[in-house]
């Protein structure tokens, strides 16, 4: 009996073990659970219906559950078929014993399902953010995955799990931006989403090795990192930034960007679906990037027009968050596509303040006319620290270096109109033809102090003449002191001004008054003064110089004037000026205009003299008025032992038109005429002097490059000419 009982127990145990093994490995097919599954599906949603043929039952010993699976069930939601590869239901074995069958989990497998099929379901599903995003932006794709619904005791969904992959995914971000050929793995839980191995193309921006994590509790947190390979031209960028199309068309001829970046993005979205925090980091390389400008950059300081900017072999870092934006560039650039120089750029923007640092090399020759500087064509370096805030731009430090030449600028601040708010200090030392031509400092505190050994003012007069009256120093009102050992006027060695001293007062960027003195050489002096006329609002500017050259060499009219003494007096206000210039005891030599006049007058002897030692004059007096659009030459009178000239006319500043007329008479003829003049009566050439040419009348007229000179015989002399001659006698 005992043996029979043991055999029975063994047989039953073997049978149970066999059944367990069979159910755990092979499973058992039946249709008895169909109704149970139908009922549970209906509990989920009344619009769901299910058609299945047979169900395979398998046992999961580890979880002590029984799971039912069926292949390719026909699930219909609102008359739309849902393509499912396999459906599994997990039943708690304990609930079978209690006869209260509990489905703890449902697993759904789909394989290579077309997005179009999913779209049909989305269209009839309840409104949600996912539905809105999908229907408005998703276009196509293939989806494979396993989805698990976890239920509680009351058959309510307590959790949701999903994993799988998507391929050939295409979505429209906006009208001009499209994600194509995307693929990724996805992992979903109730409050989180993970994407792995994200790949795709956003226009010509290639995305690879991407991942994204989304978690949702009180806030939605999104974190993503991915690599991008960017190859964009101007056409692509205009599609990405359609609002900037007109600006790009106006500024750029072409653009090509080539870079590889590793990116990291973090977002936080609060309960109101507003972004509460964010950050971005992009680190990578830039190569073979080219910008072609529609309007070349031109500067008086660099002769070459900048038409292209190339960037190659460069590293870039871009970081920004809710409080700060920063960039860091370290690489090489070129403005001719051949020679590349180092460029380092950093900026940090926070609380409306932008801190910028620049360190760049360049090999283009630099020209600074104000100090007559012409750099060598070796590599030069500029470093700058810049602070940009609201409507102000502060250059805290600018350092220029070219071999031994340097220019250092401290705390130079501009307002939004380009006017200088403040300037603390300028230090410079430069060479010309290997000799120092500038060595001085400008320091602005309570007063403006300019001190140093040398200042090259060769082109200063030319700059002043081109000045349109606008000043960037309008906000400066200070006393000024200048002490310079030498000022090079750029004419001859003897025209170097030594021991130059100036004291004055500047108001709203313009001299209110000044007094200055200097020495050319022994017994050769320079005096300059500016003062107010106490009787009206006019200012009076005076120059006395024992050497005129530094003040007249820039004017073609005075070309060929040698020696003499200069006295210049100008009475002026903002609208006009009345001026008188007197040059005494000088010569004219190799002056093209004067030579032409002498030749046309058939005064060959004087012409030869003008080519040789020069034609001497006792005095030249010019009276003229200057307005915005016109210079009126009221009178020019030159008298000398060989010839005398009287002239008047005007210059139109807008068109450049010149129009002069006058008389020129040899001194011998003039002296004879004066000796024969009666006390009263007509002032004409007396008959006993004889008939013939005693001088010429001339006209000089034309636009720049087209000026013509005409002469005619002179048989009568104006009283003004005779009066001038008698006065000088």
Q: 82-105, pLDDT tens digit by residue?
A: 778 887 777 776 766 666 767 778
Spatial separation of the C-alpha atoms in residues 164 and 603, rounded to whole Å: 106
Angle between helix axes 604-611 and 592-600 (nearest 10 degrees) is 160
pLDDT of residue 692: 38
**440 neighbors 450 (Cβ within 8 angstroms):** yes
Residue 83's pLDDT is 76
Task: Say if residues 125 and 132 touch (Cβ distance below 8 Å).
Answer: no
Mean pLDDT across the chain: 80
Q: How far apart are CA 666 and CA 672, in angstroms?
A: 10
Query: For residues 644 and 504, which has the higher predicted lDDT (pLDDT)?
Result: 504
C-alpha 527/C-alpha 537 separation (Å) is 23
What would the pLDDT profile of 523-549 be if each residue is shown by its tens digit?
889 999 999 877 777 889 999 999 888
The partner residues of 350 in beta bridges, in order of sequence, read: 324, 353
Work out the average pLDDT over 439-460.
92
**Kind plus residue range of the DSSP H or E element containing 237:** helix 234-240
Beta bridge pairs of residue 210 = 198
Q: Is the pLDDT at 14 greater than 60, yes or no?
A: yes
Q: Which residue has the tokens 């990037």?
A: 289
Task: Tell which wins on pLDDT, 556 or 396.
Answer: 396
Tokens for 690, please give them: 């004889």
Which residues are CB-neighbours of 305 under 8 A, at least 6 positions away?
296, 297, 298
CB atoms under 10 Å from CB of 704, counted, come to: 9
- Position 529 scores a pLDDT of 93
Q: Is the dihedral of CA 452, 455, 461, 464 positive or negative?
A: negative
Question: Are β-strands 615-626 and 74-77 bridged in parallel, bridged antiparallel, or unpaired?
Answer: unpaired
Whole-number Å distance between alpha carbons of 460 and 310: 36
- Which of 37-46, 507-516, 663-672 is the most confident on average? 507-516
Distance from C-alpha of 37 to C-alpha of 68, rounded to nearest angstrom: 9
Please answer whether residues 634 and 623 qualify as being in contact, where contact means their C-beta atoms are separated by less than 8 angstroms.
yes
pLDDT confidence tier of residue 446, bands split at 50, 70 and 90? very high
Q: In what order do the strands lie in the sheet with 48-51?
A: 48-51, 74-77, 80-83
Dihedral pair phi/psi, residue 152, rounded to 5°: -90, -170
Q: The dihedral of CA 547, 550, 555, 561: what is its sign?
A: positive
Position 625 scores a pLDDT of 92
Q: Is the pLDDT of residue 643 over 70?
A: yes
Distance set, CA 66 to CA 28, 62, 91, 478, 539 (Å): 11, 11, 5, 96, 108
Do the Cβ atoms of 630 and 652 come closer than 8 Å?
A: yes
Q: How confident is the model at residue 691 (pLDDT cuts 50, 70, 90)?
A: very low
347 has a pLDDT exceeding 70? yes
**Length in residues, the chain:** 729
Summarize pLDDT for 230-252 with one digit per residue, the tens: 888 888 888 777 777 888 888 88
What tokens does 516 get?
Answer: 């200055």
Model confidence at 684: pLDDT above 60: no
Residue 134 above 60 pLDDT?
yes
DSSP-derived 3-state class of residue 606? helix
The pLDDT confidence band at residue 609, using thresholds 50, 70 and 90, is very low
Rounded CA-CA distance 546/497 in Å is 11
- Under 8 Å between Cβ of 613 and 594: no
> In this model, does residue 36 exceed pLDDT 50?
yes
Q: Please write down the HEC assignment for all residues of 407-452.
A: EEEEEEEECCCCCEEEEEEEEEEEEECCEEEEEEEEEECCCEEEEE
**Predicted model pTM:** 0.76
Say which DSSP state 550 is in.
Answer: H
pLDDT at 599 over 60: no
Helix ranges (H only) for 45-171 are 93-97, 115-124, 129-137
CB-CB neighbours of 487 under 10 Å: 23
CA Rg value for the chain: 47
- Amino acid 216: pLDDT: 76
Go through 271-296 and write b for each residue having 16 or more CB atoms within 10 A of its CB, e for each that does not: eeeeeeeebebbebebeebbbebeee
Check whether 673 has a pLDDT greater than 60. Answer: no
């Amino acid at each position: 009996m005992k043996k029979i009982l043991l055999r029975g127990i063994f047989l039953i145990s073997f049978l149970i073990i066999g059944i367990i093994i069979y159910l755990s490995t092979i499973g058992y097919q039946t249709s008895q659970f169909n109704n149970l599954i139908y009922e549970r599906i209906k509990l989920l949603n009344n619009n769901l219906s299910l058609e299945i043929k047979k169900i395979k039952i398998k046992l999961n010993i580890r979880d002590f559950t029984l799971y039912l699976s069926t292949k390719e069930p026909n699930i219909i939601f609102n008359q739309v078929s849902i393509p499912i590869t396999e459906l599994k239901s997990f039943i708690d074995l304990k609930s079978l014993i209690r006869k209260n069958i509990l489905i703890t989990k449902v697993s759904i497998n789909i394989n290579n399902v077309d997005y179009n099929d999913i779209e049909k379901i989305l269209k009839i599903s309840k409104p949600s953010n996912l539905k809105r995003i999908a229907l408005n932006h998703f276009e196509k794709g293939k989806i494979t995955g396993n989805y698990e619904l976890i239920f509680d005791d009351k058959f309510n969904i307590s959790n949701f799990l999903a994993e799988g992959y998507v391929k050939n995914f295409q979505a429209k971000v906006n009208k001009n931006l499209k994600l194509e050929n995307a693929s990724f793995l996805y992992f979903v839980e109730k409050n989180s989403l993970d994407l792995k191995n994200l790949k795709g193309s956003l226009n010509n921006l290639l995305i690879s090795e991407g991942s994204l994590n989304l978690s949702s509790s009180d806030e939605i947190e999104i974190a993503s990192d991915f690599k991008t390979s960017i190859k964009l031209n101007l056409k692509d960028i205009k599609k990405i930034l359609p609002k900037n199309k007109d600006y790009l068309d106006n500024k750029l001829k072409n653009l090509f960007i080539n870079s590889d970046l590793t990116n990291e993005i973090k977002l936080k979205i609060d309960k109101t679906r507003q972004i509460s925090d964010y950050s971005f980091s992009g680190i990578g390389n830039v190569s073979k990037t080219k910008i072609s400008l529609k309007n070349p950059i031109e500067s008086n300081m660099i002769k070459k027009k900048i038409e292209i900017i190339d960037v190659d072999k460069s590293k870039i870092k871009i970081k920004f968050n809710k409080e700060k934006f920063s960039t860091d560039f370290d690489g090489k650039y070129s403005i001719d596509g051949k020679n590349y120089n180092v460029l380092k750029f950093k900026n940090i923007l926070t609380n409306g303040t932008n801190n910028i640092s620049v360190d760049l090399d360049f090999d283009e020759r630099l020209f600074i006319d104000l100090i007559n500087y012409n750099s060598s064509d070796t590599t030069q370096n500029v470093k700058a620290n810049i602070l940009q805030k609201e409507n102000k731009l502060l250059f805290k430090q600018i350092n220029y270096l070219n071999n031994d030449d340097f220019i250092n600028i401290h705390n130079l601040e501009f307002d939004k109109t380009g006017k200088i708010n403040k300037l603390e200090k300028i230090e410079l030392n430069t060479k010309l033809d290997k000799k120092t031509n500038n060595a001085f400092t400008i320091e602005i505190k309570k007063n403006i102090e300019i001190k140093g050994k040398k200042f090259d003012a060769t082109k200063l007069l030319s700059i002043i003449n081109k000045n349109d009256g606008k000043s960037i120093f309008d906000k400066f009102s200070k006393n000024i002191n200048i002490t310079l050992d030498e000022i090079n006027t750029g004419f001859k060695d003897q025209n170097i001004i030594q021991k130059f001293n100036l004291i004055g007062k500047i108001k709203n960027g313009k001299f209110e008054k000044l007094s200055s003195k200097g020495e050319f050489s022994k017994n050769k002096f320079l005096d300059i003064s500016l003062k107010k006329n106490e009787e009206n609002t006019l200012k009076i500017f005076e120059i006395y110089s024992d050497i005129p050259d530094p003040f007249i060499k820039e004017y073609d009219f005075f070309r060929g004037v040698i020696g003499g003494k200069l006295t210049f007096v100008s009475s002026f206000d903002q609208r006009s000026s009345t001026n008188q210039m007197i040059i005494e005891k000088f010569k004219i030599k190799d002056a093209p205009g004067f030579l032409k006049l002498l030749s046309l007058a058939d005064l060959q002897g004087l012409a030869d003299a003008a080519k040789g030692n020069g034609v001497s004059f006792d005095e030249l007096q010019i009276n003229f008025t200057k307005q915005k659009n016109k210079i009126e030459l009221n009178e020019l009178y030159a008298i000398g032992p060989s010839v005398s000239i009287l002239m008047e006319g005007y210059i139109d500043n807008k068109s450049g038109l010149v129009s002069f007329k006058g008389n020129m008479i040899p001194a011998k003829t003039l002296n004879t005429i004066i000796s024969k003049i009666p006390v009263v009566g007509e002032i004409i050439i007396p008959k006993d002097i004889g008939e013939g040419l005693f001088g010429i009348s001339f006209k000089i007229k034309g636009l720049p490059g087209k000026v013509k000179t005409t002469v005619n015989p002179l048989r009568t002399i104006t009283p003004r000419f005779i009066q001038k001659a008698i006065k000088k006698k």
